[in-house]
A = this chain, B = another copy of it.
Amino acid sequence: MLIVMSQDATAAQIDAVKARVAQLGFQARPMPGEQRVAIGIVGNDGPVDAAHFEGMPGVLQAIHVASPYKLVSREWHREDTIVHLPNGVTIGGPEICVMAGPCAVESRDQLLETAESVARAGAVVLRGGAFKPRSNPYSFQGLGEPALELLAEARDHFGLALITEAIDEPSLDLVEQYTDIIQLGARSMQNFPLLKRAGRARKPVLLKRGLAATIREWLLAAEYILAEGNSQVILCERGIRSYDDATRNMLDVIAIPLVKQLSHLPVIADPSHGTGRRHLVGAASRAAIAADADGLLIEVHRQPDQAMSDGAQSLFPGQFVELMSEVRSVAAAIGRTVQAPAVVAR
């Protein structure tokens, strides 16, 4: 940490900062300049809280030099983390992993039909919501545990793995029993008690980026999970809030290579939420793969115009077949492959 003093800070104010540094157990390294003094802090193994200094008289600002996260940082863990799923699928290795399915489970028929179509097209993980966080209290909120049973049935039937969302501790307890990946949504990214609970789960966790989360906050949220002992974490860029309502969210495609440089965790993209419009999902998927995403999370519905949620961004099954073909081409262009579909029964 670097403490920058005001141009007119007094010697006594500078001494007070130095004393505070010493009191916290670190060493102060003053750096006098032409215009002002700055004081470096050394001897700290982890980050120092800026709050200790920002309120002191004569202090202009306190600047973090080291990154505040450690377990998720590539500086301390060079090798890519690879997440392994029961059906043999991996996330974070050389192969790209495509997850697909409906926004929400609505009925057994709807789910099985959609699951079959995405499995046949090449998806290796089935997505589908049983617990839905909705902005509007009067919107459809998911079918709960019966949906989990249907998801497990569809997963087993088509040789897929399963990802589904938990929205609080009771739903996480349930989801953990049925799923292969526990999804934490954008609105839960800074639900710290839930992050800690996910850190004690024995299943991989997919952590979506918050609606207006910085990269730093996102990685700190992942750090919560790793700090509790669960290192099987997948990050998912799903679009952030922007000033323009031309799309539902703004997919921050460049966050993907940036986070992969900062962290060893796998990073995937959700082009469905990231754009909110079906006719942009294909281009967004290609862009994410070209930017080194380790996978995709795609909403597909057998009849999007009858969907109980997110109809506007769900693909028709035929569109998903086309998307898979495009994704395979782009993956090949950057020297990667898309994981082979599981054997489809039924």
State the A residues within 8 Å of B (CB): 2, 4, 6-8, 20, 29, 31-36, 38, 40, 42-47, 49-56, 63, 65-66, 68, 75, 133-139, 141, 167-171, 187-188, 190-194, 211-212, 214-217, 220-221, 223-224, 227, 240-247, 250-258, 261, 274-275, 278-280, 283-284, 286-292, 304-305, 307-314, 326, 329-330, 332-334
Contact = CB atoms under 8 A, between A and B. Distances in A.
Given A68-B136, A244-B215, A287 B254 contact: yes
A214 B241 CA distance: 10
How many copies of this chain? 4
Nearest to A332: B333
Given A44-B34, A290-B330, A305 B224 contact: no
Contact of A212 (B20, B211, B332): B211
Given A254-B284, A283-B256, A283-B290, A307 B212 contact: no
A162 to B, nearest CB: 22
Given A2-B38, A307-B55, A241 B253 contact: no
22 contacts: A20-B305, A33-B40, A33-B42, A33-B66, A34-B42, A34-B45, A38-B40, A46-B138, A54-B312, A55-B307, A55-B312, A133-B192, A135-B217, A187-B192, A240-B242, A243-B243, A247-B254, A261-B279, A283-B292, A287-B291, A330-B330, A330-B334
Contact of A311 (B54, B216, B224): B54
Given A136-B223, A246-B258, A254-B275, 9 more contacts: A2-B2, A29-B31, A54-B311, A55-B278, A187-B191, A246-B255, A254-B287, A283-B291, A332-B333
Contacts of A63: 2, 63
From A167, A240, A253, residue with most partner B Cβ within 10 Å: A253
A51 B284 contact: no
A207 to B, nearest CB: 13
Contacts of A280: 254, 257-258
Given A212-B211, A253-B254, A286 B278 contact: no
